[in-house]
Amino acid sequence: MHLLSRLVLLSFLLASPHATATPADALRIQKTYQLAMEKWALETRIAATPAEQTQAWGNRPDAVVFAKQMWAGIGQSLDQEWTLEPAAWFLQITPGLFANNEAGVPTAVFTKENEAIRKAVETQHINSLKLIPVCVALASSSDPRSLSLLEKIQSGNPDSKTQGVAAFGAALQLKTLGDDGEIMRKRLTFLRKAIIQSSDVELNGVAIPQGSIVMLRLDSSGRDEAVFAEAERFDIAVLDPEGFEPDRPASAVDGEGALDRVHVADRRVGGAGGLDEGIAEAAEQRVLGGAVGPDRQPAATL
């Protein structure tokens, strides 16, 4: 190739704003962010003085930076099946991320990107055998459209494992909509399907064989150091979810910490619950293989 032609081609490649990544690149971004968060958590834990604690909090990794890197790599390749796993990571990390607009007002970012992922899943990957990570991300999403997509996956995907995870995710989404009779009927239907079709599954790289006992350690909830400044200190105030204010709302920085706030609401003592609600709770524990006592705390641990 002529030297001038080579220079023109090289300039075009370097100037292209839509460079795509590879599966290895996407995994590297995820691992780098994970390691950065672990390093930051360690720094906040060992900070001894108020000044050191303030400095440590200021060093929190910026999830927006990592999300932008991921989107730059997968945004133009959402039609390719390999992007489903990093797209699921993107769906989990981006809700609640904000950035100041030109007027200096905090504005939600990645809204269009998340919608593009949902559209790609619905129109191009609904039959994919690699949708389980996406189902897990949708199950914990606060976007009301997640339920509709989970319902389509559980009814349209040919893989029974994926159907089971999607059905369980749909049941979790329905749990947030109240205890109306029709809602409870659908929720129990999804839970029944999840139980019947549960089988070997892999979550976050961990293989979980069929029949495994999975214990949810509820005593570990409310201890996210990204949300609570003194995560190991008991604070009776967190038992009142209406008046609960996290020391530093993680939702203002990234999507982490939302599960802890759900757990705080779950730890309320007493509360009125109908028979259908009790059946649904028992079914969820059966799906997860957990055994809990009447106070909703684990009756046994592994």
Is the pLDDT higher at 7 or at 170?
170
Q: How far apart are the C-alpha atoms of 242 and 259, rounded to whole Å?
A: 16
Q: Identify the CA nearest to 25 among candidates 109, 82, 92.
A: 82
Beta-bridge partners for 100: 106
The set of residues, in sequence order, having a beta carbon less than 8 Å from that of 133 and lying 6+ positions away, is 84, 85, 88, 89, 203, 204
Please state, in angstroms and rounded to a whole number, the distance separating the CA atoms of residues 160 and 182.
25
Confidence (pLDDT) at 31: 95
pLDDT band with cut points at 50, 70 and 90 for residue 23: very high
Spatial separation of the C-alpha atoms in residues 95 and 90, rounded to whole Å: 9
Task: Supply the pLDDT for residue 1.
Answer: 47
Which range scores top for mean pLDDT: 31-35, 93-97, 210-214? 31-35
Q: What is the pLDDT of residues 211-252, one digit of tens each?
A: 666 665 666 666 666 666 677 777 666 555 555 454 444 433
Across the chain, mean pLDDT equals 75
Q: What is the pLDDT, as a whole number, of residue 222?
A: 64
pLDDT at residue number 202: 67
Q: 252 is written with which tokens?
A: 């203002």
The mean pLDDT of 255-260, rounded to a whole number, is: 39
> Where do we find the tokens 């999403």?
141
Residue 64 is inside which H or E element, if any? helix 63-74
Instruction: Determine the pLDDT at residue 255.
Output: 41
pLDDT at 48 over 50: yes
How far is the CA of 156 from the CAs of 73, 138, 162, 256, in angstroms?
A: 28, 16, 10, 30
Q: Residues 6 or more apart from 238 whose CB is under 8 A from it?
A: 222, 244, 264, 267
Which residues 6+ apart lie within 8 Å of 148 measured at CB? none
Strands 98-100 and 201-203: unpaired
What percent of the chain is predicted at pLDDT more than 90?
Answer: 38
Chain position carrying tokens 């720094």: 43
Residue type (1 letter), 291:
A
Which residue's entry shows tokens 């030109």? 102
**Cβ(132)–Cβ(165) below 8 Å:** yes
Q: How confident is the model over 88-114, as a mean pLDDT?
A: 88
With CA atoms as reference, report the closest residue to 73 among 131, 10, 16.
16
For the record, the structure tokens of 110 come out as: 């990645």
Choose among 173, 165, 170: nearest CA to 197.
165
